[in-house]
């Protein structure tokens, strides 16, 4: 099967500092890939590149066979969406926040879809609440809702449950499992929580200083890491 | 609805502010066939502030189907407005500047109209002992030597120019803590002098108008010919702009120097102040009242 | 003190007895400043939004120019517009049909547009810059095009944009220097509240001047109450 994403010598730097430097990476359709690594490893930049919010300085990122560039058609861009670590919601109620992406796609009457997703995330009673009045857990669930209501081909998640309580983490992880098992969505989860990667992902990768150090099936990654840096990270011995 | 927020709110606030504008802004500047001819009269604030123009002009507007737009500014600015070709006719009181104006070709016709006079007003306590003097120059000398407070217009208005000419005649360069340069209108300067119990030079019309409203300052010196303040009317040179209505300007001049209108000027102020504010002075008037 | 009370009473009396001269002056003030605000909004809001959001060379220079423009003395603007429109000035001699004549309402509107546009643009710029910069990226990630994400930011900043409009209106409805210079305070055609106040002050009619000032204050207060009401509905 052709990969969803293929990265070839993709580099991105800010002010002369290389932040992402990936020689080769392929992401398969329908897979659940976790990327772990310390802060500053370039994980968030990688997600912005994969969501076409930025473009590589050199090398190529192919999505569905097309190179990422400002000229990439909107239809293709709209197949990929991100849930950010710190969600910024519109100054509006929950329902309108979740409907935003659908309305961009020309869907005027999306009441039913929005309500269904809100219900699945335990937000059914909050649909009229103002976004500003939500707790951080609720806000993050709204951010997840506004992403999955789009039924994206690729769902990117940047530390979606950092700083959340176990109840909210549980809700979000259940939802991610559910989406993935439905089979149509490729999920890429960036997390510094190795246990979350272990619980959810089929493959896990370690990212360090912009590079992918090791990528392997999750069980192998944790039980039998090939690289000594992976070993150190998994065992919590890495100093960073 | 998500799209509700910005636009309608803006529309509401803007509409609230400009409802009248929306209806009339377009129609306002467009003239109608029967609209009266427009005559722009640039004049000094004193003629407007005294109420003289409101008293005189409606007669002309009716008789000639004209609308006189009065731009009341300082003497210098009124003359400049004429030089720029932005007015049709001027009514000002700066004889020397008017002479230059005519010599430089900015105006095509000048006529004497009237004069009023200046008075030296001061507090009843009269610290410089000038009450009753017949010479303005002597009075200014006394004020300076007593270092009594004096408020000057300080704005290059006709009144200020007159004040400076008197200081010059007295051989005094006024300065120091007793001499204030206000840079404000006559009314404001009179009010300020009243507050400070200071002397000032004022035109009689503004002084009388304020005295009626409770100004405590008294007239100390009056009647010196040096204090006379002649007004001239000038038709602006139509070569300056095709938009200048020289025909109507000439009719206006003929009208304002005519004997009946001069008569009316002579009566202005009698009712309100018990004395005339302006003395008619035009050629036809002088010919009729030798 | 008594003069102030008398003035306020006279202002109220004129207002409620429907004094036609006073109402003409109030309507003209609203008309001139309202039209100027509308034009300033059309130019200033997009300008402020672009300056708040888009990076381009020379941006700082334009920002500095706008901040300077926010503090322009009205009388200087009046003088500049006078020289621009004067029959022997810059545009006047060309006799172009769209160039207004001095001492007319459109000339006053032009002067106030020059005063209000930097105010509206400056306040809009601040409001837009205060929106979380992450919002645009997140909206793009949800499928917003470049333009759609800009619109989302502007929508988020709309409270600030309302403040910008009120600020602009407050700046021009209360100014006297520019409308005096280019309008000429012609009775019945270019006399607005501020120039009427100036005239009555000059005439020594302090109580009438205070009364007119009170009416102006009342107008400004009503505009702000209206804006506060709009803002309040959002919270």
Q: Does residue B141 lie in a domain region?
A: yes
Kindly state whether A105 is in contact with chain C, defined as any CB-CB distance less than 8 angstroms.
Answer: yes
The domain boundary, picked from B189, B211, B227, lies at: B227
CB–CB of A82 and C144 under 8 A? no
Residue B248 near residue B39 (C-beta atoms within 8 A): yes
Calculate Rg over the CA atoms of chain A: 18
Set of chain C residues whose Cβ sits within 8 Å of the Cβ of A146? 142
Residue of chain B whose Cα is closest to the Cα of A100:
B2
What is the spatial distance between Cα C140 and Cα C149, in angstroms, rounded to a whole number?
Answer: 6
What pLDDT score does B173 carry?
Answer: 94
Maximum pairwise Cα distance, chain A: 54
Residues 128-157 on A with a CB inside 8 Å of C are: 146-147, 150
Q: Does residue B215 lie in a domain region?
A: yes
Is there a single domain that holds both residue B138 and residue B219?
yes
What is the spatial distance between Cα C183 and Cα C189, in angstroms, rounded to a whole number?
Answer: 9
Residue of chain A whose Cα is closest to the Cα of B3:
A96
User: And the tokens for A147?
Assistant: 């992403």
The answer to whether residue C235 scores a pLDDT higher than 80 is no
Set of chain B residues whose Cβ sits within 8 Å of the Cβ of A99? 2
Is there a single domain that holds both residue B50 and residue B97?
yes
Set of chain C residues whose Cβ sits within 8 Å of the Cβ of A100? 139, 142, 152
How many angstroms away from the CA of B9 is the closest CA of chain A? 15
What is the spatial distance between Cα C117 and Cα C121, in angstroms, rounded to a whole number?
Answer: 6
> What is the number of other CB atoms lying within 10 angstroms of the CB of residue B284?
16
Span B59-87, pLDDT tens digits: 999 999 999 999 999 888 999 999 999 99
Kindly state whether A18 is in contact with chain B, defined as any CB-CB distance less than 8 angstroms.
Answer: no
Span C160-187, pLDDT tens digits: 999 899 989 998 999 999 999 999 999 8
Residue B25 near residue C35 (C-beta atoms within 8 A): yes
What is the spatial distance between Cα A86 and Cα A80, in angstroms, rounded to a whole number?
Answer: 18
Cβ-nearest to C230 among B9, B45, B86: B9
Question: Between helices B259-267 and B52-64, what is the axis angle to 10°?
Answer: 150
Find chains touching chain A: ≥3 CB pairs under 8 Å: B, C
Span C92-141, pLDDT tens digits: 778 788 889 899 999 999 999 999 999 999 999 999 999 999 999 999 99
Rounded to whole angstroms, what are the CA distances from B19 to B157, C130, C172, C222?
40, 31, 17, 15
Span C8-56, pLDDT tens digits: 888 788 878 888 888 899 999 999 999 999 999 999 999 998 898 888 9
Positions of chain B with pLDDT under 70: 1-34
Q: Does residue B2 lie in a domain region?
A: no
Span A111-162, pLDDT tens digits: 999 999 999 999 999 999 999 999 999 999 999 999 999 999 999 999 998 8
Q: Does residue B18 lie in a domain region?
A: no
Is there a single domain that holds both residue B126 and residue B223?
yes
Which residue of B3, B10, B13 is the best one to mutate when testing the C interface, meaning the one whose CB has the most C CBs within 10 A?
B13
Is there a single domain that holds both residue B98 and residue B122?
no
The domain boundary, picked from B227, B253, B278, lies at: B227
Domains contained in chain C, CATH given: 2-234 (1.10.3720.10)
CB–CB of C35 and B18 under 8 A? yes
Set of chain C residues whose Cβ sits within 8 Å of the Cβ of B67? 189
Is there a single domain that holds both residue B55 and residue B138?
no
Set of chain C residues whose Cβ sits within 8 Å of the Cβ of A51? 141
> In terms of C-beta density within 10 A (0-12 exposed, 13-18 middle, 19 or more buried), how is residue A151 classed?
middle
Q: How many domains does chain B have?
A: 2
Maximum pairwise Cα distance, chain B: 86
- Rounded to 5 degrees, what angle do the CA atoms B262, C199, B151 make? 90
pTM: 0.77
What pLDDT score does B158 carry?
Answer: 78
What is the spatial distance between Cα B146 and Cα C144, in angstroms, rounded to a whole number?
Answer: 81
CB–CB of A74 and C156 under 8 A? no
Residue of chain C whose Cα is closest to the Cα of A132:
C235
DSSP B121-182: EE-TT-TT--TT-S-HHHHHHHHHHHT--EEE--S--HHHHHHHHHHHHHT----STTEEE-
Strand A32-36 and strand A186-190: the pairing is parallel
How many angstroms away from the CA of B227 is the closest CA of chain C? 21
Q: Does residue B17 lie in a domain region?
A: no
Segment C201-221 shows an average pLDDT of 85
More confident residue, B129 or A164: B129
What pLDDT score does B206 carry?
Answer: 83
Rounded to whole angstroms, what are the CA distances from C27 to A181, B19, B194, B266, C193?
68, 10, 36, 37, 9
Span A95-114, pLDDT tens digits: 999 999 999 999 888 899 99
What pLDDT score does A206 carry?
Answer: 95
What pLDDT score does B22 carry?
Answer: 41
The domain boundary, picked from B180, B196, B227, lies at: B227
Q: C178: which residues sit within 8 A by CB, 6+ positions away?
A: C74, C75, C77, C78, C81, C108, C111, C112, C114, C115
End-to-end C-alpha distance for chain C, whole angstroms:
40
Q: Does residue B8 lie in a domain region?
A: no
What is the spatial distance between Cα C175 and Cα C152, in angstroms, rounded to a whole number?
Answer: 34
Set of chain B residues whose Cβ sits within 8 Å of the Cβ of A90? 2
Residue B232 near residue B98 (C-beta atoms within 8 A): yes
CB–CB of A86 and C134 under 8 A? yes
DSSP code of residue A93: B
CATH number at residue B236: 3.40.190.10
Is there a single domain that holds both residue B126 and residue B214?
yes
User: And the tokens for B99?
Assistant: 């002479």
Residue B60 near residue B248 (C-beta atoms within 8 A): no
Residue C128 near residue B52 (C-beta atoms within 8 A): no
Cβ-nearest to C148 among A84, A104, A150: A104
Span C145-164, pLDDT tens digits: 988 998 899 899 988 999 89
Is there a single domain that holds both residue B235 and residue B200?
no
Q: Does residue B84 lie in a domain region?
A: yes
Is there a single domain that holds both residue B188 and residue B237?
no
Q: Does residue B4 lie in a domain region?
A: no
Strand B199-203 and strand B107-122: the pairing is antiparallel
Is there a single domain that holds both residue B159 and residue B253?
no
Is there a single domain that holds both residue B58 and residue B160?
no
DSSP code of residue B85: T
Is there a single domain that holds both residue B110 and residue B203?
no
Set of chain B residues whose Cβ sits within 8 Å of the Cβ of A127? none
Residue of chain C whose Cα is closest to the Cα of B13:
C227
Kindly state whether A103 is in contact with chain C, defined as any CB-CB distance less than 8 angstroms.
Answer: no
Is there a single domain that holds both residue B61 and residue B143?
no
Query: Domain range holding B165?
Result: 117-227
């Amino acid at each position: 099967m052709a990969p969803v994403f293929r990265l070839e010598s993709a580099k991105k730097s800010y002010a002369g500092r290389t932040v992402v430097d990936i020689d080769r990476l392929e992401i398969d359709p329908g897979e659940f890939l976790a990327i772990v690594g310390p802060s500053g490893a370039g994980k968030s930049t990688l997600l912005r590149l994969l969501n076409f919010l930025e473009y590589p300085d050199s090398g190529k990122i192919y999505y569905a066979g097309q190179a990422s560039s400002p000229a990439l058609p909107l239809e293709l861009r709209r197949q990929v969406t991100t849930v950010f670590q710190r969600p910024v919601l519109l100054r509006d109620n929950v329902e309108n926040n979740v409907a935003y992406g659908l309305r961009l796609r020309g869907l005027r009457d999306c009441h039913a879809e929005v309500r269904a997703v809100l219900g699945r995330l335990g937000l059914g009673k909050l649909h009229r609440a103002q976004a500003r009045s939500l707790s951080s857990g609720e806000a993050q669930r709204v951010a997840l809702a506004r992403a999955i209501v789009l039924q994206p081909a690729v769902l990117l998640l940047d530390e979606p449950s950092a700083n959340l309580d176990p109840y909210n983490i549980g809700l979000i992880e259940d939802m991610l499992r559910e989406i993935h098992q439905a089979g149509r969505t490729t999920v890429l989860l960036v997390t510094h929580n190795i246990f979350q990667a272990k619980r959810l992902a089929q493959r896990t990768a370690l990212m360090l200083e912009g590079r992918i150090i090791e990528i392997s099936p999750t069980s192998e990654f944790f039980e039998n890491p090939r690289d000594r840096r992976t070993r150190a990270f998994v065992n919590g011995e890495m100093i960073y | 609805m998500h799209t509700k927020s910005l636009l309608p709110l803006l529309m509401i606030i803007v509409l609230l502010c400009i409802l009248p504008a929306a209806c009339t802004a377009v129609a306002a500047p467009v003239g109608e066939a029967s609209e009266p001819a427009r005559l722009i009269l640039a004049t000094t604030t004193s003629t407007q502030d005294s109420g003289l123009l409101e008293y005189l002009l409606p007669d002309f507007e009716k008789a000639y189907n004209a609308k006189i737009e009065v731009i009341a500014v300082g003497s210098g600015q009124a003359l400049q407005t004429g030089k720029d070709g932005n007015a049709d006719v001027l009514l000002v009181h700066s004889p020397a500047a008017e002479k230059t104006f005519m010599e430089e070709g900015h105006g095509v016709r000048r006529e004497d109209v009237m004069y009023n006079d200046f008075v030296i007003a001061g507090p009843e306590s009269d610290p410089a002992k000038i009450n009753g003097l017949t010479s303005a120059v002597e009075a200014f000398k006394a004020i300076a030597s007593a270092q009594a407070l004096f408020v000057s217009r300080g704005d290059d208005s006709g009144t200020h120019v007159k004040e400076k000419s008197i200081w010059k005649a007295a051989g005094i360069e006024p300065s120091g803590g007793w001499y204030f340069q206000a840079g404000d209108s006559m009314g404001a300067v009179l009010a300020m002098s009243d507050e400070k119990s200071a002397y000032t030079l004022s035109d009689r019309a503004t002084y009388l108008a304020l005295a009626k409203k409770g100004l405590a300052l008294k007239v100390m010196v009056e009647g010196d010919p040096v204090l006379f303040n002649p007004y001239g009317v000038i038709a602006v040179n139509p070569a300056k702009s095709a938009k200048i209505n020289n025909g109507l300007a000439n009719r206006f001049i003929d009208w304002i120097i005519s004997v009946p209108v001069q008569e009316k000027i002579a009566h202005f102020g009698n009712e309100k102040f018990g004395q005339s504010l302006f003395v008619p002075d035009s050629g036809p008037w002088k010919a009729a009242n030798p | 003190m008594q003069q102030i009370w008398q003035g306020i009473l006279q202002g109220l009396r004129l207002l409620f007895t429907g004094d036609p001269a006073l109402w003409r002056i109030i309507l003209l003030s609203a008309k001139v400043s309202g039209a100027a605000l509308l034009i300033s909004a059309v130019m200033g809001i997009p300008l402020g939004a672009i300056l708040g959001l888009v990076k381009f060379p020379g941006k700082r220079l334009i920002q500095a120019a706008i901040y300077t423009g926010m503090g322009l003395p009205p009388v200087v603007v009046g003088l500049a517009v006078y020289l621009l429109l004067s029959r022997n000035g810059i545009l006047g001699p060309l006799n172009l049909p769209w160039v207004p004549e001095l001492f007319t309402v459109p000339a006053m509107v032009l002067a106030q547009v020059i005063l209000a546009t930097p105010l509206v643009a400056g306040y809009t710029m601040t409001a837009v810059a205060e929106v979380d910069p992450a919002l645009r990226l997140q909206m793009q990630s949800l499928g917003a095009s470049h333009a759609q994400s800009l619109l989302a930011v502007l929508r988020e900043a709309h409270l600030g944009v309302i403040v910008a409009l009120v600020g602009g209106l407050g700046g021009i409805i209360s100014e006297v220097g520019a409308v005096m210079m280019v309008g000429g305070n012609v009775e019945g055609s270019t006399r607005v509240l501020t120039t009427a106040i100036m005239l009555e002050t000059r005439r020594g009619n302090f109580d009438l001047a205070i009364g007119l000032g009170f009416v102006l204050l009342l107008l400004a207060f009503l505009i702000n109450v209206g804006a506060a009401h709009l803002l309040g509905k959002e919270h």
